[in-house]
Amino acid sequence: MNRGLQLIALQDFPLVQPGDDLAALIRDSLRHNQLELIEGDVLVVAQKVVSKAENRYVDLGDIEPSERALTLAGQAGKDPRQVECILREAREVLRVRPGVIIVEHRNGYVMANAGIDKSNIEQNSESPRLLLLPEDADRSAEALRKALTDSPGCAPMVIVNDSVGRAWRNGTVGMAIGSAGLEPLYNQIGERDLFGNVLEVTEAAVADELAAAASLVQGQADEASPVVLARGARLRPGLGGARALLRDRAMDMFR
């Protein structure tokens, strides 16, 4: 499907504060980087800046842990207040071990600690803060796409990505938790391979693949490059969000 892909991390992206117009910051950054959107462009936006703009902060000083949070905190060796935040964001706790609690997030993602993070956020020593995932990352992606449609050039496809671990594999990779304007799954069932065999089950998670590729240039530490322009991906336009990537529980063989 693809013959070439260009990934451009927008440089000098400002620190995002609650209430900031993220679309306006992206437009300004595109101009600063001397870039204009063209048809087929994809903007991959790190979850962290989306959550910051949406003020998804939690002050731990305001959290009163429940009995269940206290119990799980003892098993995981974590701050009970953080565990309470995890429980509030989770549909179900799947696994617990020292250092991590694997849950099904209320939006369907299976991930460590409900995606709650404290890296790359400003801290108050008197009341530490955590950052939650967006309320609805598909809705966030759609809002960004709609706002950027008004800017010069074409409306970009948008992916909101986050770093997650994987079963049986070390390390984290980028994953799409929200998308707008594209088909996140490329269904090739019925197509033929090089030898004429009919593909029976092949569906490429193209939104996840691009989310992971963008993570390479976004970085994980002090790179300050939360927005990546992906050009040449040739993704199919579509209305479905990243929820299409979630496997139905009835088809989940690992729980």
- pLDDT per residue over 240-253, tens digit each? 799 999 988 888 88
Longest pairwise C-alpha distance within the chain: 65
The CA dihedral of 51, 222, 24, 208, to the nearest 10 degrees, is -60
| pTM exceeds 0.75 for this model | yes
The CA dihedral of 125, 75, 117, 91, to the nearest 10 degrees, is -130
Highest mean pLDDT among 72-86, 147-161, 190-204: 72-86
Dihedrals φ, ψ of 253, to 5°? Answer: -90, 5
Which domains, and CATH codes, for the chain? Answer: 6-56+133-251 (3.30.1330.100), 57-131 (3.90.1660.10)
Contact 160, 50 (CB under 8 A): yes
pLDDT bucket at 2, cuts 50 / 70 / 90:
low
Distance in angstroms (rounded) separating the CA atoms of residues 242 and 97: 29
Question: Which of 83-92, 186-195, 230-239 bottoms out in mean pLDDT, i.e. has the lowest?
Answer: 186-195
pLDDT at 180 over 90: yes
pLDDT bucket at 221, cuts 50 / 70 / 90:
low
Angle at which helices 67-76 and 80-89 cross, to 10°? 110
Helix (H, G, I), strand (E, B) or coil at 128: coil
* pLDDT tens digits for range 32-75: 999 999 999 999 999 999 999 999 999 999 999 999 999 999 99
pLDDT bucket at 198, cuts 50 / 70 / 90:
confident
Both tokens of 222, joined, read: 């002090």
pLDDT at 86: 97
Q: Which of 75, 109, 71 is nearest to 90 (CA)?
A: 109
Q: Residue 106 contacts by C-beta under 8 Å, 6 or more apart in sequence?
A: 89, 90, 91
Q: Name the strand (E) or helix (H) holding 187.
A: strand 186-187
What's the chain's average pLDDT?
Answer: 91
* pLDDT tens digits for range 112-157: 999 998 877 777 767 789 999 999 999 999 999 999 987 555 789 9
By percentage, how much of the chain surpasses pLDDT 90?
73
pLDDT at 152: 58
